[in-house]
Amino acid sequence: MAIPNVRIPSRQLYIDGEWREPVKKNRIPIISPATEEIIGEIPAATEEDVDIAVEAARRALARDDWGSTTGAQRAKYLRAIAAKILERKSELAKLESLDCGKTLFEAAWDMDDVAASFEYYADLAEALDSKRKTPVDLHLDSFKTYVLREPLGVVGLITPWNYPLLMATWKVAPALAAGCAAILKPSELASITCLELGEICREVGLPPGALNILTGLGPEAGAPLVSHPHVDKIAFTGSGATGVKIMTAAAQLVKPVTLELGGKSPIVVFDDIDNLDLAVEWTLFGCFANAGQVCSATSRLILQESIASEFLERLLLWIKNIKISDPLEEDCKLGPIVSSGQYEKVLKFISKAKDEGATILCGGERPQHMKKGYYVQPTIITDVNTSMEIWKEEVFGPVLCVKTFKTEEEAIELANDTKYGLASAIMSKDVERCERFTKAFQTGIIWFNCSQPTFTQLPWGGRKRSGFGRDLGEWNISKCFLVLKWPQI
């Protein structure tokens, strides 16, 4: 199949409603994960640009065209953005695929979810108008009180490369719905579609400074944003190591943060499942979707011993049908890892597992037919013990490690044997057992008889070292408010 020709737009930083060249005029090359070639470049912001963006955001909050808007007025902007996303869906999906290696059909799904998220938060923005000033009855005639909900202020949003525009939207849409002014700093590994969001905001007439977009390196652009005294909050999705740095820097200013960090999520499969192939399919999707580059990936398969042999045989049969190719080919099922650094990291994890005594049941190498690009075969690792690095640490690649269990108690112990607590899944037809696991799993997200379905209406976030706070749902928009009480005599 012919691969469509896609032009990479050349953009500057999006600040105060217009495109601005970085103060230091630096730019970063965009390297295609599928070909390892330079296909474009993005602007590289530094501390000076952060200062300009923060001032633009503060001015937006002080102006009536943004700072004094109602929820209904902000909803119109959000719906206009959603409409533009759908209008440009095909182009944006191709750009996303080119940039981070995501398959074209997954990128198209993401664009639908982006538009749906903006629509959802438009609805919530409208609903805020009736909640902005809430009377509180103190049962004292001498006092009348109310709770006033106001935007938190300028919020810094730092987002990852695995779902570039979607993860940005999870933070941008509720911030704008609440009336905050936002500064988005996407990952330097995948920023193209986030910059295009700036162009969409310009086209729909979003007031200047309401959303600013700074691309660049973490130490040069992200760190100054976190430590800026006039940024009122930071919301971050990314690695645990970076999360620790952000918490440390924000603590110096007693600045609130929300963190959605890594995961090492389990999928527990019992022998009472009705459809073995469906369980196999969900297991594969839960670990290998987006080439395994998913924070909630159920990358630890915990199998009941009685079905382990047959289940693994079927897994191997299904894996043979996973087409690995250029992600822009419509029938591609597994694209490349995002960068050379991440590619080497994944291969190192696999090599270390083998050195520690695990068995590479399949995969673990570059596909022979892909001579260029950061491709890794779908990999299944068995003979794993709980002291191995592959069991403990997040790989962020298409790597599934397997252990077996006999009893329900053993399964729970294995599932919770991790420092992370983002997500977990159970496959069983026993409803009461699933409910028991709901209480037993030490995670923020739990799936029954599936893995990875995500809905804008539901809260998303973890426990333990997977972070705190929630994206999505009404819980997300609530964190964008400063709540004040005003007693009156």
Tens of pLDDT, residues 53-89: 999 999 999 999 999 999 999 999 999 999 999 999 9
Which residues are paired to 213 by β-bridges? 14, 184
Instruction: Write phi, then psi, for 367 (nearest 5 degrees).
Output: -60, 135
Tens of pLDDT, residues 275-310: 999 999 999 999 999 999 999 999 999 999 999 999
- Residue 1: band (very low, low, confident or very high) from pLDDT cuts 50, 70, 90: very low
| Rounded Cα–Cα distance for residues 371 and 369 (Å) | 6
pLDDT in the model for residue 263: 96
**Mean pLDDT within 355-381:** 97
Share of the chain above pLDDT 70, in %: 97
Mean pLDDT, the chain, whole residue set: 95
Tell which wins on pLDDT, 410 or 485: 410
pLDDT in the model for residue 488: 54
> By the 8 A CB rule, do 210 and 66 touch?
yes
- Residue 484: band (very low, low, confident or very high) from pLDDT cuts 50, 70, 90: low
> By the 8 A CB rule, do 327 and 101 touch?
yes
pLDDT at 2 > cutoff 90: no
pLDDT at 215 > cutoff 70: yes
Question: Which among 212, 207, 254 is positioned nearest to 233, based on CA atoms?
Answer: 254
CA distances from 389 to 168, 264, 288, 295, 337 (A): 31, 11, 19, 17, 20
pLDDT in the model for residue 4: 56
Domains of the chain and CATH, by start: 13-261+466-488 (3.40.605.10), 266-448 (3.40.309.10)
Tens of pLDDT, residues 93-137: 999 999 999 999 999 999 999 999 999 999 999 999 998 888 888
pLDDT in the model for residue 199: 98
DSSP annotation string for 360-428: EEE--S--TT--SS-----EEEES--TTSHHHHS---SSEEEEEEESSHHHHHHHHT-SSEESEEEEE-
pLDDT in the model for residue 475: 79
> By the 8 A CB rule, do 265 and 296 touch?
yes
Looking at the annotation, which residues are catalytic? 260
pLDDT in the model for residue 486: 54
Tens of pLDDT, residues 168-204: 999 999 999 999 999 999 999 999 999 999 999 999 9
pLDDT in the model for residue 359: 98
> By the 8 A CB rule, do 467 and 258 touch?
yes
pLDDT in the model for residue 445: 96
